[in-house]
Structure 1
Amino acid sequence: MAAQISAHKTTAFTNPPNYALTSHRLRRTLHASTKQPIVLVACGSFNPITYHHLRMFEIAKDFIRQNTDFEIVGGYLSPVSDEYKKAGLVNAHHRVKMCTLATEQESTWLMVDSWEALQNYQRTAVVLDHLEYEINTVLGGVSTRDGGHRNVQIMLLAGSDLISTMSEPGVWSHDDLDNILGRHGAFVIERTGAALDQTIDSLARWRNNIYPIAQLVENDVSSTKVRLFFRRGLSVQYLLPASVIDYIERNNLYPDDGSCTEKDKDKGSESGEADITSSESSNVRGTLGKEMTRLSTN
């Protein structure tokens, strides 16, 4: 059953210069007037965007269609601001561009919202509120086929590794959790190394508005690993869209540090890639966990 949007009035937001919400793929009319329209929003570094980020939306889309009374009318990626100040984070302009290339060429319904990326650091709760304001107040929500009007529910899409940080004391404020999970709601995609059931149990207060989704095909690709591949001069083909790879190479965003020899490169991934997936895999996951913990922390 679709959750109801709680009463909440959102005031206008300050927008970056020349900002306008990208909405060319936002569907403005519901197919089924009995369903609750929703927009999925994924917040993150996207440094760089990978096929796993795109795949998360498709996993959620299947689950929503088969198990809920929601109807998706759009999906957004919201890259974090440069004020996040994580080591190795490339400029927001590049990350927005990479996300735009990926969504425009690999999807028919996903879009990029640059509002968060082009200003000071913004908490996830504020990003969701901003999109709610833009879609429901500025654009006027969506229509039903019989001429009615509906407000759109903005819902977070995240991996279980990010959601698990929400139960850690001092990481997220209670008010932000109540806003994100209680008012907006979240779809949580299972990720390798992050216990999904345990995570949901620790957030029992908002259980009715959290939708856990099993990952039927295991995918452990991360931006952290992709950057490591670039630094070692290893192939990243089929880990992220070709247009994004081309953009990265043209702009030299993740330069090769020379740690992979030409001999290793000629072998494909016989040597270097095996090292990454064995001895360094736990360190990479740990780095990703810390990265997402810092995201949206007060």
Structure 2
Amino acid sequence: MKIGLFFGSFNPVHIGHLIIANVMQDQTDLDEVWFVVSPQNPFKKQKTLLHEFDRHKMVELAIADHFYFRVSDVEFHMPRPSYTVDTLTYLSEKYPEHEFKLIVGGDNLTHFHKWKNYEVILENYGLYVYPRPGSQPVFQHPNVSFVEAPLMDISATFIRKTIRSGKSVKYLLPVDVVDYIMDKKLYQ
């Protein structure tokens, strides 16, 4: 099977993530999309990050009714910070029957050359790139595919701020994720 790996903090997972994953699975040759919950992104501050188990649970709740989506905690058991190339190598060794592709936003291409062993990712895995508001990626490589998708400008930062201020996040998050956040009093 061809698997698209959608890495992220998912702090929290929101409708934008789900729409992008659905477009990637439905409109490309990907058989499944795996949401890889990153415990620590080397480019992001740890300060506002919920515990990885809560973020994993929210993704699990968000994708429960989607047959072609999976959630992965693979990076929970790897050295931190997590580097995409190490996770890709591990998954390729563990699941040699699968072909893995990396799903990234167009905004990631501007600093993709700073990623650990980015050349290995390009040559051995390849990228499926979705558009991001304000990004005009000019990146040419035979293993980079640009996928037409809705422009998503939904930010987890905005969602956390909205929750902290006691406002509604209806339609920004799946209902089960909203219920989980409210029950556990997260981001408040």
Alignment TM-score, normalising by the size of structure 1: 0.58
Letter in 2 for 1:189: Y
Whole-angstrom distance in 2 between the partners of 1:89 and 1:76: 20
Equivalent of 2:125, from 175, 184, 191? 184
Matched position secondary structure for 2:20: helix
RCO higher in 1 or 2 (8 Å CA, sep ≥ 6)?
A: 2
Deviations 1:222-248 (A, max 9, x none): 211111211222211111110001101
- Does 1:41 find its partner at 2:1? no
Name which one, 1 or 2, has greater alpha-carbon Rg. Answer: 1
Aligned counterpart, 2:143: 209
Note the 1:1-298 alignment, pairs <5 A.
Answer: 37-64=1-28, 70=29, 72-82=30-40, 86-105=46-65, 107-121=66-80, 122-136=82-96, 141=97, 152-167=98-113, 171-173=114-116, 176-196=117-137, 198=138, 200=139, 204=140, 207-215=141-149, 217-255=150-188
Q: 8 Å contact 1:82–1:120 — kept in the other structure?
A: no
Q: CA deviation at 1:130?
A: 1.7
Q: CA deviation at 1:73?
A: 3.0
Q: How many percent identity over aligned positions?
A: 26
Whole-angstrom distance in 1 between the partners of 2:123 and 2:34: 20
Whole-angstrom distance in 2 between the partners of 1:118 and 1:91: 14
Matched residue count: 185
Matched position secondary structure for 2:64: helix
Q: CA deviation at 1:160?
A: 1.0
Whole-angstrom distance in 2 between the partners of 1:179 and 1:230: 40
Alignment TM-score, normalising by the size of structure 2: 0.90
Q: CA RMSD in A?
A: 1.8
Letter in 2 for 1:162: N
Q: CA deviation at 1:131?
A: 1.7
Unaligned stretches of 5+ residues in structure 1: 1-36, 65-69, 142-151, 256-298
Cα gap change, 1:63 to 1:179, in 2 (>3 Å): same
Q: 8 Å contact 2:25–2:33 — kept in the other structure?
A: no
Letter in 2 for 1:210: V
Matched position secondary structure for 1:224: helix
Q: 8 Å contact 1:44–1:79 — kept in the other structure?
A: yes
Cα gap change, 1:132 to 1:187, in 2 (>3 Å): same
